[in-house]
Every structure is written in C-alpha cells, then in structure tokens.
Structure 1
Amino acid sequence: MRIGEAARAAGVSARSLRFYEDQGLIVPGRYGNGYRDFCQVTVDRAQAIRTLLESGVPTRLIKIILTEQLDGGAAELDLDAVDPAVVAAIRDHRRRIVARIATLDERRIALDRFLAELDGPRRSARSEPPT
C-alpha cells in the first residue's frame, strides 16, 4: 500500500511514517518509480512505534527493541536475545516516567487544594442570606 493508505491504517500521519523511516524504525519497500510500498507488517510496526512514542519511550530504545531485538520482522520479541543493557535502559526510562507521574500528581493535589480554598469562601458567601 502507498503512504497515505498506510498512514490511515496505522493511525499516524504520512509525515510520521517518513520520520520513522528516517530514524531506521521501519523500512518500507519501494516501487520502481520510487514510491514507498508499505506491507501490513510495516503498518503494524508503525502502530507499535506510535504507542511507544506516546508512552515516552525514546526512538533510540524503540529502534533497539523493534529493529535489533525482533528476529527478521517476527511479531514477538525473543526474550532470550534481549540485551541486559537494553533492559536496564528500559527500566531506567520507566523509573523516570514514574517520577514524572509522582511530580504531576503532587501538582494536581496542590491545584485541587488551591481550587478548594477558592471555592470555600465563595460557597460560604453564597450560602449566607443577604442582609
């Protein structure tokens, strides 16, 4: 399939597919006229890449996971072949995500307190009968 159809099928933009290709994350075939030819395996990989990027995984780790760790385009990761350094990098990335979540949660709680304080005086002023 051509890039527009592949983009729709993968739920990404054509620009994203070009970026994934530039990063070495996907390798679409080529027609004789130079147009890209995307197979279903490449579309599936693009969907996986999008999901990983949305979760904050950097492209350097995605490339390792999807390109080097998948055996010839296999659909499943060969767990015995995973480099311990890759696992360590993924665990480190996960720790950073957990820390960001904790920070955001603290900020949400602070905002909730602030809003509750703002709403408190207004509620009591509204509930008092006019004099």
Structure 2
Amino acid sequence: MKIGELSSRIGVSVSVRMLRYYEQEGLLNPPRSESGYRYYGFEDVERINGIALLNGSGLTLAAIRSLLACVPSGSTPAPLCHALKSRIREQLEQIDRQVESFNKSRLLR
C-alpha cells in the first residue's frame, strides 16, 4: 500500500507528513518502487501503532528507535524485551512524580 492509504488505515492521528518524518528518523524503512513511491505492508501498520503508542506515553523518538527491536510485530505477538519493560517502568515513575507534583500544586491555591 502507498503512504496515503497507510495513513488512512492506521486509526491514530498519523499523517503522511508524520510517516515521512518517522522514515527520516530511522523508525521506518519502506521499500520504494522504481518511480520512488514508498510501499508499506500490514506489519508497518502494527509498527507505526507501536511507535505512536510509545510516543504518546512520553518516550522520545530517539528512545523509541533504540527500543524498536523490542516492539512485537507480525501476526505472532512476541513478549516485550527487558529493555522496553524497564524504559516503560521508568516512564511510569516519571509520570507518577509529575502527578504528585501537580497534586501538591493544587494545595497551594
């Protein structure tokens, strides 16, 4: 499928521009036709959904790039690797600290 079709299939707000940015950042590497069109498979939909999920949870694209080997893909789900679990745990701890800080600031009103 071409980039426009992929963008419309994803189901999250990932634009064509964002897909090109993911490619530029080394998160995607779609094959190209002789005329330069990018072609994506169904596994790319899963990969992009994983990237969007991790990015939405607060991970940077650089962190996601280093963890992509841990993101399950394909029809058979793979267990998350230790590095990804650890990074998610760290992110959750950071979010918990932020929530605690926000709650304390409410008391100051």
Which TM-score tier does this pair reach, normalised by the shorter chain? 0.7 to 0.9
Partner of 1:64: 66
Amino acid at match of 1:24: G
TM-score, L = length of structure 1: 0.65
Give unpaired runs (5+ residues) of structure 2: none
TM-score, L = length of structure 2: 0.76
Amino acid at match of 1:20: Y
Deviations 1:15-74 (A, max 9, x none): 1111111122122121111111111111221112111111101222322332x2358x54
Give unpaired runs (5+ residues) of structure 1: 115-131
Q: Does 1:2 align with 2:24?
A: no
Query: For 1:35, what is the secondary structure of its paired residue?
Result: coil
- Counterparts of 1:31-70 in structure 2 under 5 Å? 31-66=33-68, 68-70=69-71
| Distance in 1, Cα, partners of 2:99 & 2:38 | 39
Amino acid at match of 1:105: N
| Distance in 1, Cα, partners of 2:32 & 2:88 | 33
Q: Does 1:77 align with 2:72?
A: no
Number of aligned residues: 106
On the 8 A contact 1:61/1:86 being kept in 2, the answer is: no
| Distance in 2, Cα, partners of 1:5 & 1:42 | 12
Shift of 1:89: 3.7
Identity, in percent, stands at: 29
Question: Runs of at least 4 residues of structure 1 off by over 6 A?
Answer: none
On the 8 A contact 2:67/2:83 being kept in 1, the answer is: no
| Distance in 2, Cα, partners of 1:8 & 1:88 | 32
Bigger relative contact order, structure 1 or 2 (CA pairs below 8 A, ≥6 apart) = 2
On the 8 A contact 1:64/1:86 being kept in 2, the answer is: no
Partner of 1:98: 96
Structure with the higher helix share, 1 or 2: 1
Tell me: CA distance 1:86–1:70, structure 2 relative to 1, closer, same or farther (3 Å). closer
